[in-house]
Amino acid sequence: MAISRLELRLNLKSKGFDERICLDLPLNGVTALYGPSGSGKTSILRAVAGLDKHKCTRINYAEEIWQDEQIFVPTHARGLAYVFQQPVLFSHLTVEQNIQFAVKRSNFSAAENQLSKDTICQRLNISHLLDRLPFTLSGGESQRVAIARALCSYPRLLLMDEPLSALDTGNKAEIIPLLEQVCADVGVPVLYVSHALNEVARLSDNLVLLEQGRVLESGLTRELLVELKLPFSQQSDAISVIDAWVVEHEAEFGVTLVRTKLGDLNLLQADHLQVGESIKIQVAARDVSITRDDSNATSILNRLRLEIVDIGESDQAQATVKLEANKVALLSKITKKSLAALELSIGEIVIAQIKSCALL
């Protein structure tokens, strides 16, 4: 039976490193390649795409060899699509013609679980742009078109190389939820390169941490983000990702109630979510406070009884506390002064507090 994994055995050589990469990545969901500039993220993507050919390399897509000592499958025969940092559109073609070009050139037809061209355009909010030429589009619009064109080639693998890095904050805020939805719905595995932690936390299911051409760690995103031995938890923008299910919308109070393995949480009302829908919630560690007071005499609605399972240093002034219940973890950043004043220690049960407006 064919494996549903992407096996990579790469000899990566660059100005800054000469390393052997060994990875077995799941061919489902979004896998993020994360690390600073020069860590090898794009080099891996280009090798998978067949744009760069490295010696002593083996690339195996679900038991279909793309490269080894005897075989090298060219890029056009690998059935993949590539979205670059800058959108590369045909300037003389309309948006509709750009997308139709991908459909016609594709060697693959849409699978039953994939989205149609019209649905992809709707999900990425470009249906009203189909008659426009690329020079009339904004940066965010152009990138959405580039993503739609890639998806409409019905690839077996989608490669995305920092597709949001050239966009301003407003365009990123607009495109991230669209990209999140289409990645979840399209039914194609994605390799996503980024050095932005919030993008990785929101979009990816699996995560590979790279540094100077070496794999420091790989695994489920939600587990690696809260591991205190890894750099994610030490950053000022450290994030926990929690699976949740929508329970109800309380229109009277303007909140949405969701259920998690940590306990029930109140979000600011999110009418676009359906009751019963599964979602991912991001919680910034800096927005989680800790108290020993078990009373409800507080304006903070979200109060969770959790166990302290680890404590680490963030910097000279701050500590990172890892809290857990039912094998789900939540990070809290507090000052070392608070840590000492509360006399917190591993194994204790405390109350974690999170404002509703802090949940994304």
Mean pLDDT over residues 260-289, rounded?
93
Pick the more confident residue, 195 or 241.
241
The first and second tokens of residue 77, run together, are: 């025969």
H-only helix segments in 152-186 = 169-185
- The predicted pLDDT at position 111 comes to 55
> In terms of CATH architecture, what is 5-224?
3-Layer(aba) Sandwich (3.40)
Mean pLDDT over residues 126-139, rounded?
95
Residue 1 CB contacts under 8 Å (≥ 6 apart), including other chains = none
Mean pLDDT over residues 287-294, rounded?
93
Query: Which range has the worst mean pLDDT, 52-56, 104-108, 189-193, 340-344?
Result: 104-108
> Given pLDDT bands bounded at 50, 70 and 90, which one contains residue 114?
low
- Which of 255, 358, 355 has its CA nearest to residue 299? 355
**SS3 of residue 304 by DSSP:** strand
Mean pLDDT over residues 123-137, rounded?
95
CATH assignment, 239-358: 2.40.50.100
- The predicted pLDDT at position 169 comes to 86
Own/partner pairs, 327-330, CB within 8 angstroms, 24+ separation: 327/261, 328/242, 328/243, 328/260, 328/261, 328/262, 329/223, 329/226, 329/240, 330/226, 330/240, 330/242, 330/262, 330/283, 330/288, 330/304, 330/306
pLDDT in tens, 37-80: 888 999 999 999 999 998 889 999 999 999 999 999 999 999 99
Residue 109 has pLDDT above 80, yes or no: no
- The predicted pLDDT at position 108 comes to 57
Q: Are strands 80-83 and 157-161 parallel, antiparallel or unpaired?
A: parallel
Residue 134 has pLDDT above 90, yes or no: yes
Task: Yes or no: say if 103 and 117 are a contact pair by the CB < 8 Å rule.
Answer: yes
Phi, psi of 157 (to 5 degrees): -150, 130
Mean pLDDT over residues 228-249, rounded?
93
User: How many CB atoms lie under 10 A from the CB of residue 30?
Assistant: 23
The pTM of the full predicted model, rounded to 2 decimals, is 0.89
Residue 203 CB contacts under 8 Å (≥ 6 apart), including other chains = 30, 32, 176, 179, 180, 183, 192
Mean pLDDT over residues 149-175, rounded?
90
The DSSP element (H or E) to which 67 belongs, if any, is strand 64-67
Using CA atoms, how far apart are residues 174 and 179, in angstroms rounded to an integer?
A: 9
- The predicted pLDDT at position 177 comes to 85
Mean pLDDT of the chain: 91
Pick the more confident residue, 121 or 174.
121
- The predicted pLDDT at position 329 comes to 97
Phi, psi of 20 (to 5 degrees): -100, 120
Give the length of the chain: 360
Task: Yes or no: say if 239 and 284 are a contact pair by the CB < 8 Å rule.
Answer: yes
- The predicted pLDDT at position 1 comes to 39
- Treating both helix axes as pointing N-terminal to C-terminal, what angle do 139-151 and 169-185 enclose, rounded to 10 degrees? 10
Query: Which range has the worst mean pLDDT, 96-110, 213-227, 244-258?
Result: 96-110
Using CA atoms, how far apart are residues 309 and 306, in angstroms rounded to an integer?
A: 9
Share of the chain above pLDDT 90, in %: 71
- The predicted pLDDT at position 313 comes to 84
- Which of 190, 219, 162, 223 has its CA nearest to residue 23? 219
> Given pLDDT bands bounded at 50, 70 and 90, which one contains residue 113?
low
Pick the more confident residue, 24 or 182.
24
H-only helix segments in 67-208 = 95-105, 117-123, 139-151, 169-185, 197-203
- The predicted pLDDT at position 18 comes to 75
For the chain, the domains span 5-224, 239-358
- The predicted pLDDT at position 112 comes to 52
Q: Phi-psi bin for 306: left (phi > 0), alpha (psi -120 to 50), beta? A: beta
Please report, as a single letter, which amino acid is at residue 360.
L
Residue 186 has pLDDT above 90, yes or no: no
